[in-house]
Structure 1
Amino acid sequence: MTAFIFPGQGSQKVGMGVELADASAHAREVFEEVDEALNQKLSALMKDGPESELTLTSNAQPAIMANSIATLRVLEKEFGVSLADKADCVAGHSLGEYSALCAAGAFGLAETAKLLRLRGIAMQDAVPIGVGAMAALLGADIEKAGVLAEAAAEGQVCEVANDNDPTQVVISGHAEAIDRAIEMARDHGIKRGIKLPVSAPFHCSLMQPAAQRMKLALADTSPNGFTVPLYANVTAARVSDPAEEQALLVDQITGRVRWRESVLAMREAGVERFVELGGKVLGPMVGRIDKQAGTVSLVTMEDLENFAKENG
């Protein structure tokens, strides 16, 4: 069994998608449709930067999705390898869950771009800049991270945001609490804490105003049925009901990204191979979660060609 997986924020970089767009009209069509949906030359920003603008949450989220979907579109249209035929399920990391839903037909491309633009703005607006922060805890498992977050909170918000793999957990909350957690990391048997270059404290209870805005947006643009089941971030469980997934996308804004558990759940269900589209972030994570799992990351035309040769 095979899972198609889609990366999240942090995988953006200037130059993303350029090679695909140069080589394939199908990739260009994806980027053009997203530009039109957002009424912005996002593809030019992806190509030339500046990086500071591409990294803004409201730009990074639709850009990462566009790159993933362009990669998939080229695989399907140029190389004849379709998600419906090859994937038994899909999953995505944070905003990647929207890319996964788009890939599986739950949302149209333009709809997905608009939802992610709104999601980015809503998450940015939820907390004034400087009030919140996030940190990656290296050499931390989920138990250690949870104990540290509780100890560092001191009446403020300090929560586990991403359970990425057995060696990396991300915490999120008030900036002072995150600073305390970084200072206390060693005392809790954690190698170290590194503050992340993000503009808001994602996936914690401070994001509640953003969750409310997404609830309204998703009521207007609800998901359709999807061609293959999805493993949802907040439950690390299989979903195939659009109404259930609609509620989970709202919960995802304040909830933990349970990526490690999602991968283990897919493995338990019989998934042997994970195919990452448009990034090289999740493949290595999957390898750290389960060394026996097969992984492949598709970014370049050469990657796609090689994959198609083996899976045509």
Structure 2
Amino acid sequence: MSVAFVFPGQGSQTVGMGKALADAFGPAKAVFQEVDEALGEKLSAVIFEGPAETLTLTENTQPALMAVSLAVIRVLEAEAGLDLKRDAAFVAGHSLGEYSALAAAGALTVADTARLVRIRGRAMQKAVPVGTGAMAALLGLDFDTAAAVAAEAAQGQVCQAANDNGGGQVVVSGDKAAVERAVELAKTKGAKRAMLLTVSAPFHCALMQPAADVMAEALSKVTVKAPVVPVVANVLAKPISDPAEIVRSLVAQVTGTVRWRECVGFMAGAGVTTFYEAGAGKVLTGLAKRLAEGATASAVGTPDDIAAFKASRG
């Protein structure tokens, strides 16, 4: 049980992701159809064909990435005999990916997850008027230094550490002027680079409270089951299985820090030596290799990746 499955978040999307899987494997195609039905629209057409600007709208990106991740898991179950309960010690996902992890582990249905992340995407977009918030990456600072920079830059506004990605990558989020101050301040504190990110809203900070309220209401209307494998929660950096605690952590996650460095550290400390990133891109694969010394990490998102996964399991 030295295996963990991790699920990517926003930023990993590309037009065409998941198409080869859907073309090659019935279970993958079925997931995209299920998401289309749940949302009442052909999101799969946007995922497979674009345009990119439609896919990158937060309300589309979130269910799209979840669909690709779940398609991968369904194909692994059908083609490689994957059984998360038997084969994985933990699942975890980065921000939006936490929903994918919960769906993969059976805590949420795919249809409910698609609707929840569509609501989440819209609520996060609407929480702050466009242009008033910002996010910035501070590279080369440890988390405590970056958090101190954010606190100093706030000056009565919101500026907080949003993502602790590890490897000297911390993202801060908040009011635009405060985040701009943090970028300048970080350079004086030894940051290798500090730059504003192209994002549509300041995620994972106190400005997202309206979205957290929306998610609390949305989550109260769906059935959350105990996952078949513990989910390492973003805001707690520890595994949880109790449905009420899962809901609380998902609500807290909207305004709270994604503690990814600590999540990976927890899993590695608990004996995980192999990480599989299920879905689009390879962001978490790179982070796992840096954060979990001696661990192997690989991305599974294409038919070739499925074949490699099957081969590795003999």
CA deviation string 1:182-212 (max 9, x = no partner): 1222101111212111111000000000001
Inter-partner Cα distance in structure 2 for 1:217 and 1:191: 41
Aligned-partner Cα distance in 1 for 2:81–2:227: 20
1:172 aligns with 2:173: yes
Q: Corresponding residue for 2:300?
A: 298
How far residue 82 of structure 1 moved from its aligned partner, in angstroms, is 2.5
Paired residues of 1:144 and 1:189 also in contact (CA < 8 A) = no
1:1-312 matched pairs, under 5 angstroms: 1-278=2-279, 279-312=281-314
Instruction: Write the deviation string for residues 88-147 of structure 1: whole angstroms up to 9, x where unpaired.
Output: 110000010000000000000000000000000011111011111111111121012112
Shift in Å, 1:48? 1.2
C-alpha contact (below 8 Å) 1:158/1:174 kept by paired residues: yes
Query: How big is the shift at 1:213?
Result: 0.6
- Tell whether the 8 Å contact from 1:89 to 1:231 is kept in structure 2 after alignment: yes
Conserved? CA contact 1:81–1:311, under 8 Å: no
**2:201, 2:184 → 1: CA distance?**
20
Q: Which consecutive residues of structure 1, in runs of 5 or more, have no partner in the other structure?
A: none
| Whole-Å separation in 2 of the counterparts to 1:255 and 1:31 | 30
Post-superposition offset of 1:77:
0.9
Q: Distance in 2 between matches of 1:242 and 1:265?
A: 21
- Separation (CA, whole Å) in 2 of partners of 1:262 and 1:188: 26
1:32 maps to a residue whose letter is Q
3-state secondary structure, aligned to 2:254? helix
Number of aligned positions between the proteins: 312
Rounded Cα–Cα distance in structure 1 between residues aligned with 2:109 and 2:313: 26
Aligned partners of 1:181, 1:89: CA distance in 2, in Å? 35
AA of the residue aligned to 1:141 = D
Task: Name the SS for the 2:236 alignment partner.
Answer: coil
Q: Once the 2 structures are TM-superposed, how far is the Cα of residue 81 of structure 1 from its aligned partner?
A: 2.3
- Does the aligned pair in 2 maintain the 1:81–1:308 contact within 8 Å? no
CA distance in 2, matches of 1:38, 1:140: 41
Q: Tell me, what secondary structure is at the counterpart of 1:163?
A: strand
Moved more, 193-202 or 205-214: 193-202
User: What CA distance in whole angstroms lies between the structure 2 residues aligned with 1:81 and 1:308?
Assistant: 9
Given residue 258 of structure 1, which amino acid in structure 2 is its aligned partner? R
Q: Could you list the per-position Cα deviations for residues 267-291 of structure 1 after superposition, in whole angstroms to 9, with x for gaps in the alignment?
A: 1111111111013110101111123
1 CA distance for matches of 2:41 and 2:179? 35
RMSD of aligned Cα (Å): 1.0
- In terms of mean alpha carbon deviation, does 155-164 or 269-278 score higher? 269-278
Name the stretch that deviates more: 128-137 or 188-197.
188-197
Give CA-to-partner distance per residue, 1:254-311, whole Å, 9 cap, x none: 0000000011111111111111101311010111112312211111111111111222
**What residue identity is the alignment partner of 2:82?**
V
Alpha-carbon deviations, 1:129-172, whole Å to 9, x = none? 11111111111210121121112111110000000012200000
Question: What letter is aligned with 2:301?
Answer: V
Name the SS of the counterpart of 1:100 in structure 2: helix
Kindly provide the amino acid, as one letter, of the partner of residue 310 in structure 2: A
Runs of at least 4 residues of structure 1 off by over 6 A? none
TM-score, normalised to structure 2's length?
Answer: 0.97
**Which of 63-72 and 133-142 deviates more?**
133-142
Return the offset for 1:78.
2.2
Question: In structure 1, what residue type is equivalent to 2:286?
Answer: P
